[in-house]
Amino acid sequence: MTMRTRTLGTTGPQVSALGLGCMGMSALYGDADRAESVATIHAALEAGVTLLDTGDFYGMGHNELLIGEALRTAPAARREQALVSVKFGALRGPDGGWTGYDGRPAAVKNFAAYSLQRLGVDHIDVYRIARLDPDVPIEETVGAIAELIEQGYVRHVGLSEVGAETIRRAAAVAPIADLQIEYSLISRGIEESILPTTRELGISVTAYGVLSRGLISGHFPRDRQLAANDFRAYSPRFQGDNLQHNLNLVDALRKIAEQKGVTVAQIAIAWVLSRGEDIVPLIGARTRERLDESLGALDVTLDEADLTAIEQAVPADAAAGDRYPTAAMAHLDSER
């Protein structure tokens, strides 16, 4: 496996062709093993992965502390190659519930101060609000990040889950390195207007959910019982008939993967990689075993016949169920 590189937009840093999304090591997917999580981050850095993605609200700061520990205990050369992307703004209560988003300039700087401390770094490489705050113009939020850049605390502005109009407004304030948004074989909503807009403006995409939270990984059993602290237990795509329909799509994809001698996860990640040099898939591996499998996607070449077969097996809009529960969908500017 040879790690390729890609550049975040026209103004952003050069990063590895695959990034590591660390959320599942702290929250929303059931219990995780801290030692294995740190070992997985170390293995990713050793393999040439440079982009580590987190959010200050993942485990209410747990994820940033975890990444801070992994960076602190990594070899110096690997630590120095790491680029950290942080999402902020999501508000939570002591019970873990979600209470809204805060994009006020003063809040932006407050969130950044805490993230720098938890991560143990002197700057954040890409900083972005997790969801648009409906009560604060995006210009004000991005302007606050731009001030942090001037002060040396942040390197680049990012966006997350916003639509084409918001992207344009944000880009008029400061250069935008990339947009983080869900993109996979069964989540292709960005292709209509969002992806053309980012490409017009020279903004790259870091794609999360490339395996749709494990749904199209090839490892999700039809009869799996999800724990109460697993986000997927409440996700429409994992419910009843929706789940069975979606796993039928996985079975169709599995046939193509087997013909190529690769896994379902590898072909799903390779498909996202094939969509353009401006797209960096984030792999949500929580263990070294899953990390190794995901990295194997870099060695998968999809020709036109493969891509046609994949499109036939999993057509656009083929998935059953929304990406998030109804209440969460209401906060997605990208869906409006």
Which residues are marked as active site?
Answer: 58
CA-to-CA dists, residue 207 to 58, 132, 140, 212, 282, angstroms: 18, 18, 25, 11, 6
Report yes or no: 268 and 67 within 8 Å, Cβ to Cβ.
no
Report yes or no: 265 and 294 within 8 Å, Cβ to Cβ.
yes
3-state SS, residue 188: coil
Alpha carbons 236 and 136: distance in angstroms, whole number: 30
Where do we find the tokens 């975890």? 66
Where do we find the tokens 């990040």? 145
CA atoms within 13 A on the CB side of 121: 28
Alpha carbons 142 and 173: distance in angstroms, whole number: 7
Query: Which are the contacts of 333, defined by CB distance < 8 A and separation ≥ 6?
Result: 131, 132, 161, 162, 163, 166
Alpha carbons 67 and 53: distance in angstroms, whole number: 9
Torsion, Cα 116 81 159 191, to 10 degrees, reads -160
Alpha carbons 90 and 99: distance in angstroms, whole number: 8
| Amino acid code (one letter) for 196 | P
| Amino acid code (one letter) for 120 | G
CA-to-CA dists, residue 298 to 18, 214, 271, 336, angstroms: 8, 19, 10, 34
Strand runs labelled E in the chain:
5-7, 14-16, 19-21, 51-55, 83-88, 90-92, 98-101, 124-129, 154-160, 176-182, 204-208, 279-283
3-state SS, residue 125: strand
